[in-house]
Every structure is written in structure tokens, then in C-alpha cells.
Amino acid sequence: MKLKEIQKLLDAKVVTGEEYLDKEVYSAFGSDLMSDVLAYVDESAVLLTGLNNPQIIRTAEMIDLFAIILVRGKTPGEDLVGLAKDKNITLMTTNHILYTASGLLYGEGLKGVDING
């Protein structure tokens, strides 16, 4: 699913990385635990998280993940946005809660990351 479709489905606001909205992801992962993201996720997935601090960008960088959706209407701080920009990561915010945002994407065919494979 292209990032711009995700943006539309979640009624999301693009904070940075608008130029990469044509990039595609093949699965999604929802978590506020960065160690779990490190363990299970790679660049083929989009991360949905309620965690609002620069460590989400650091975590994404380590595993080459390029798209992050902040849920529950969080407003990212300047340091987080700056780091996302530096690392060419697309950062969006949505007012939906994690459960609803995940359901909206899943319903349109974006599956969860397979952690047993």
C-alpha cells in the first residue's frame, strides 16, 4: 500500500517526508515498545505508534524503516521532526487511536508483520 493511500485512509497529516508518499509498504506494525520494533520489523513495514519521542526515529533508522504514523493525535516535538527530516523518514499524525487506525488499514488489505516467519 502506498503511503499516500495510508494518509488518506487515516485522514493523516504529513509532518515531514511528503516527497516520499509514493513509496510503498507491504505490512504494518503497531507498538509503543521499541525493542519489539527492533526485533520484528524491517523496511517493508509502516510503524504505527503512540510513542512521541526521538527514539522512534532512531529505532526506525536502525532497521531502515521509512514511514511512521503517530496515533492518538500526538504532536511531535521539534527534535523528533528534525531527526525524521535528517533521516528521510515520512512522519504522519492521525487522530485515530492505534486500534482504529490499524483496523482501517487492515480492512483495506494491509496485513500485520508476520513475527513467526
Partner 1 sequence: MDKHQDDSKINLEYDIIRNDFKRAGEASSDIKSILKKIGIDSKVVRKVAIVTYEAEMNIVIHSYGGNIKVTIKSNNIIIEAYDRGPGIENIPLAMKEGYSTATNEVRELGFGAGMGLPNINKCADDFKIKSTPEGTRLLITINF
| Footprint of partner 1 (CB under 8 A) | 32-36, 38-39, 42, 49, 51, 53-56, 58-59, 61-64, 79
In the complex with partner 1, the residue whose CB is nearer, 15 or 56, is: 56
- Distance in Å, CB of 59 to partner 1, minimum: 7
- Distance in Å, CB of 14 to partner 1, minimum: 22
How big is the chain, counted in residues?
117
Close Cβ partners of 35 (under 8 Å, ≥ 6 residues apart): none
CA–CA dist 69, 50 (Å, integer): 8
In the complex with partner 1, the residue whose CB is nearer, 7 or 29, is: 29
CA–CA dist 102, 117 (Å, integer): 21
Name the phi and psi angles at 16, rounded to 5.
-155, 155
Alpha helices for the chain (secondary structure H): 3-9, 34-40, 55-62, 78-86, 98-107
In the complex with partner 1, the residue whose CB is nearer, 7 or 31, is: 31
- Distance in Å, CB of 52 to partner 1, minimum: 10
In the complex with partner 1, the residue whose CB is nearer, 24 or 36, is: 36
- Distance in Å, CB of 1 to partner 1, minimum: 23
